[in-house]
A and B are shown apart, each in its own frame.
Chain A
């Protein structure tokens, strides 16, 4: 079956520090991969995505590269800000499952806290 594993949080960083949140997946075939972000009191928002191996998704200074050889999609940002404090969810969509509906498989989420 499909599964997503994220690093345990919370992750606490000082402003301008480098961020990495690890994500690995298990799936048959060639899934699409996503990062969603949830700010306090809000729903999840799509942050970035990659649909095939070696693709790099990027948005708002965040990047993640689809690595098929290591089945990973780690989220990185070179310099975090206090406003990046949120919960980050890694997710996959397996095209083998799109016969009935496009159902995402989510990781458990990683809370990021950025301090001044």
Chain B
């Protein structure tokens, strides 16, 4: 099992550009979570899906952020337009019952 796969590992973009982060969960896992991690705020849950359906997006900071899960093997987190304060490490995690498996994260830098 390759684990949770995120891409890209690093992304540097200019303010105002659209950014799309990708996640492939572990096959058979039915829940998927997007987190953001910064020094100031620590680990924040942005949104999670259960069986491809968004359950709680109350952690999404604002309308510039959107997430989709079109099927059980793929999810995206999009930021449009991006701002410097969006710079962070974004993690995807999947689970079946309880224990999470995290991806290695995408380090986003918005300049």
Which A residues have a C-beta under 8 Å from some C-beta of B?
A: 32, 34, 36, 42-46, 49, 89, 93, 98, 100-104, 106, 108-109
Contact = CB atoms under 8 A, between A and B. Distances in A.
A32 B56 CA distance: 21
Given A43-B104, A101-B31, A34 B48 contact: no
Nearest to B97: A102
Given A43-B103, A106-B43, 14 more contacts: A34-B99, A44-B91, A44-B93, A44-B102, A100-B50, A100-B55, A102-B95, A103-B33, A103-B48, A103-B56, A104-B98, A104-B100, A108-B42, A109-B42
A62 to B, nearest CB: 16
Interface string B39-61: 00011010011100001100000
Interface of B: 4, 31, 33, 42-43, 45, 48-50, 55-56, 91, 93, 95-105
21 contacts: A32-B98, A36-B100, A42-B105, A43-B93, A43-B102, A43-B105, A44-B43, A44-B100, A100-B55, A100-B56, A101-B50, A101-B55, A102-B31, A102-B95, A102-B97, A103-B33, A103-B48, A104-B98, A108-B42, A108-B43, A109-B42
A35 B4 CA distance: 19
Contacts of A44: 43, 91, 93, 100, 102
Sorted nearest first, the 3 A-B pairs with minimum C-beta distance are: A43-B102, A101-B50, A44-B102
A102 B98 contact: yes
